[in-house]
Amino acid sequence: MPFLQAAPVLSNQYLDDRVLRSYLRRVLPRTMLGAIEPDLTDLGEYAANAWTLARTRERSEPKLTQWDVWGERVDRIELTPAWIAAQPLAARHGLIAAGHEATHGTHARVHQFALVYLFHCASEFYTCPLAMTDGATTALKASGNQRLIDRALPHFLSRDPEQFWICGQWMTENAGGSDVAPTETAAREENGRWRLYGRKWFTSAINAQAALALARPAGAPAGSDALALFYLEPRKPDGRWRNIVIDRLKDKLGTRELPTAEIHLDGAPAELVGEPKFGVRQIAPVLNITRTWNAVGALATMRRCIALARDFGNRRVVFGKPLAEQALYQDTLAGMQAEYEAAFHLTFFVTELLGRVQCGQADESQQNLLRLLTPLAKLWTGKLAVAIASEACECIGGVGYLEDSGIPQLLRDAQVWPIWEGASNVQALDFQRALRAAGGLQSLLTAQRTILSQVQASELEPCARAVRMAATAIAEWLQKASAGERHRLEAGGRELAFGLARTFALALLARHAEWALRAENDPRPGAAARRFAEHRLLRLKPDGLRDATMLASDSY
Ligand code: MFK
């Protein structure tokens, strides 16, 4: 008998998901859950099958053909089979619509993001344009531009695959990604119509039927305040580009199925979304929505990696018994699971807040809380997804390092979470921007205390204690850092953001554990909370700047 290893398999990704299902039972009305469960089950089945299918067929990537055989510039893009399947699937499951429809009131966002979480790993990052489309929907609604609302939203929110459109977000240029102030794309008004001229350096999902772009109106001063936000439909009904040239598709570490392009705009017709300035303020709703999608996608990556490592542990026998029965393997999985469960509750709490804010049912403190927690969730989950993907790769060992196991792709793809939509340091700085606007941590600390007051079980006391101790340490650190120069606070910004995210997440996980114990007699969330509390919550440095300048510029 030759030595064989059994490949990990996935069962229905909804029915098999204890964490998601337990959470939905707590937060959703029973009738609503009953109504949406068949759809969640369908997507869970699709996700499991897509994993098997992806392992058995030839890998494909989008292909750009710039010239046709007769010498005409065509810039035609062929999409992967999963991308072709994704558009009708996204429309039919309402992956954007569900988040905006009134049917489930304030629960609309929880419903939508449960769908997104199940779909993401089967989507080959089709969730990227979906995220941008959701963001564009939110930004256009906020703009009050009725013409564009009437034009674009019926497409973005359609459940009809024939009508459904996706929307790109064209911000990044050669001169700047994190900092958009040096944007060089110019907008000129010609014969009563705006036209854009310039180069966009990263345009994700270039096949989108619409896009939002930042550009500087001719004659406007330098700086980011002078940028304006424009809406475009990049192609004519016959598919030809409207004064846009696709220079190339990017050769990326991961997300290779996603057609990310470098483009030239050579008089592309566009429409102003709002006033011809303050475009960053107008595109900010897109950033906050896509950052939420980012956190949900990162969570989906973690869940997928843990599911594969766990299943592998049941199949792989070493030293005479399955890995799953070995103490150190169990301990490794437990650590991953605890981190993921905490991240899950933080991320889905953000979606709950988003639903309430969107329905006008959030007071000022809850609005502040959403603004504060969004960059924290994006920052922490992005980093954690890479760590968990790396750990899962190691769990599966040598085979996990081989391309056709599918695990390296998960690891490479995971690396995008901390980068796009603003890298970790951008999130840390955005959190400080939000903190200044909110006038401090009050809304976050008050919410955390309220959540913690619902944790009564004695077995969860170590968790409550860990939250209280961390909150005190953070408040003291912040008070000291805020009293100094701003760059001292900035230097500690990453650790402050991680610490707050982890502490708030522990409070949420402990609250869910309390409910699970009482309502379902399930001790597992409590075990996850205790385990997470044992992990380090904070790594605040007494002085973020001490030694940093010297070490950062180190050379022989
Ligand atoms: C499942 C898949 C999900 C992910 C898919 C994503 C795929 C998309 C791929 C990409 O396109 S990646 C490119 C994304 N680019 C970024 O995320 C940009 C990163 N940089 C930042 O976020 C910077 O912080 C920013 C460009 C916003 C800095 O710009 P400014 O102009 O220097 O900032 P400033 O002056 O502080 O803010 C201008 C206004 O915007 C202010 O409002 P007011 O004018 O009313 O004072 C800010 O408060 C507001 N603002 C900025 N960020 C905000 C915000 N408001 C709300 N929320 C925010 N996050």
DSSP output for 35-78: HHHHHHHHHHHHHHHHHHHHHHS-----EEEEE-TTS-EEEEEE
DSSP-based three-state secondary structure for 79: coil
Give per-residue pLDDT as tens, 59-89: 799 999 999 999 999 999 999 999 999 999 9
**Residue 371 backbone dihedrals phi, psi, to 5 degrees:** -65, -35
Query: Are the beta carbons of 301 and 116 closer than 8 angstroms?
Result: no
What local confidence, expressed as pLDDT, does residue 3 receive?
59
- Global pTM value: 0.97
Alpha carbon nearest to ligand 1 atom 13, residue: 421
Q: Which atom of ligand 1 is nearest to the CA of 296?
A: 1
**Helical spans, DSSP H, in 71-145:** 81-92, 97-100, 108-119, 127-143
Q: What is the number of the ligand 1 atom nearest to the C-alpha of 420? A: 12
Identify which of 118, 169, 281 to mutate to test ligand 1's pocket (most ligand atoms within 8 A of the CB): 281
Measured from the Cα of 294, ligand 1's closest atom is 3
Residue 430 Cα to ligand 1 midpoint, Å, equals: 8
Instruction: For residue 417, report the distance from its CA to the centre of ligand 1, in Å.
Output: 16
Compute, in angstroms, the gap from residue 247 CA to the centroid of ligand 1. 26
Of 208, 369, 347, nearest in space to 291 by CA: 347
**β-sheet bridge partners, residue 167:** 210
For residues 140 and 212, give the distance between their C-alpha atoms in angstroms, rounded to a whole number: 10
Strands 210-217 and 228-232: antiparallel
Ligand 1: residue of 126, 280, 490 to mutate (most ligand atoms within 8 A of CB) is 280
Q: Which atom of ligand 1 is nearest to the CA of 204?
A: 9
Using the Cα atoms of residue 373, residue 378, residue 381 and residue 387 in order, give the sign of their dihedral. negative
**Dist. CA 279 → ligand 1 center (Å):** 10
Take atom 44 of ligand 1 and give the residue whose Cα is closest: 281
Reduce the DSSP state of residue 319 to 3 states and report it.
Answer: coil
Ranges of residues in the chain with a pLDDT under 50 are 1
422 Cα: distance to centroid of ligand 1 (angstroms): 8
**Atom 15, ligand 1: which residue's CA is nearest?**
421
* Distance from Cα 344 to the centre of ligand 1, integer Å: 24
Q: Residue 351 Cα, ligand 1 centroid: separation in angstroms?
A: 19
54 CA distance to ligand 1 middle (Å): 35
366 CA distance to ligand 1 middle (Å): 20
Q: Which two tokens stand for residue 32?
A: 């609503």
Q: Own/partner pairs for 23-31, CB < 8 Å, 24+ apart?
A: 23/344, 23/345, 23/348, 23/512, 24/110, 24/114, 25/519, 25/520, 26/512, 26/515, 26/516, 26/519, 27/107, 27/110, 27/348, 27/352, 28/107, 28/110, 28/111, 29/107
pLDDT at position 2 is 54
Q: Of 375, 360, 389, 364, which Cα lies nearest the Cα of 504?
A: 375
Distance of CA 81 to the CA centre of its chain: 23
SS3 554: coil
Structure-token pair, residue 214: 């930042």
Integer CA distances (angstroms), 286 to 111, 280, 282, 367, in order: 19, 10, 8, 16
Ligand 1 centroid to 210 CA: how many Å? 20
Atom 2 in ligand 1: which residue has the minimum CA distance? 128
Half-sphere exposure of 287 (CA within 13 A, CB side): 21
In this prediction, residue 11 carries a pLDDT of: 95
Closest residue by CA, ligand 1 atom 3? 294
Ligand 1: residues with CB < 6 A are: 127-128, 131-132, 169, 171-172, 177-178, 180-181, 204, 224, 278, 280-281, 284, 287-288, 290, 293-294, 297, 420-422, 426, 430, 433
Residues 181 and 222: beta-carbon distance below 8 Å: yes
The minimum-distance atom of ligand 1 relative to the CA of 437 is 48
- Give the position, in ligand 1's atom list, of the atom nearest the Cα of 423: 19
CB 110 within 8 A of CB 296: no
8 A C-beta contact, residue 399 and residue 393:
no
Find, among 112, 209, 234, the residue nearest to 153 by Cα: 209
**Span from the CA of 426 to the centroid of ligand 1 (angstroms):** 9
Burial class of residue 267 in the structure, from the number of CB atoms within 10 Å of its CB (0-12 exposed, 13-18 middle, 19+ buried): middle
The C-alpha atoms of residue 204 and residue 485 are separated, in whole angstroms, by 38
For 356-412, the DSSP string reads HHHTT---HHHHHHHHHHHHHHHHHHHHHHHHHHHHHHHHTHHHHTSGGGSHHHHHH
Best residue among 130, 287, 370, 426 to mutate for probing ligand 1's pocket (most ligand atoms within 8 Å of CB) is 287
For residue 288, which atom of ligand 1 is closest to its CA?
A: 59
Query: What is the Cα–Cα distance from 378 to 373, expressed in whole angstroms?
Result: 9
- The whole-number pLDDT of residue 547 equals 77
Ligand 1, atom nearest to 260 Cα: 9
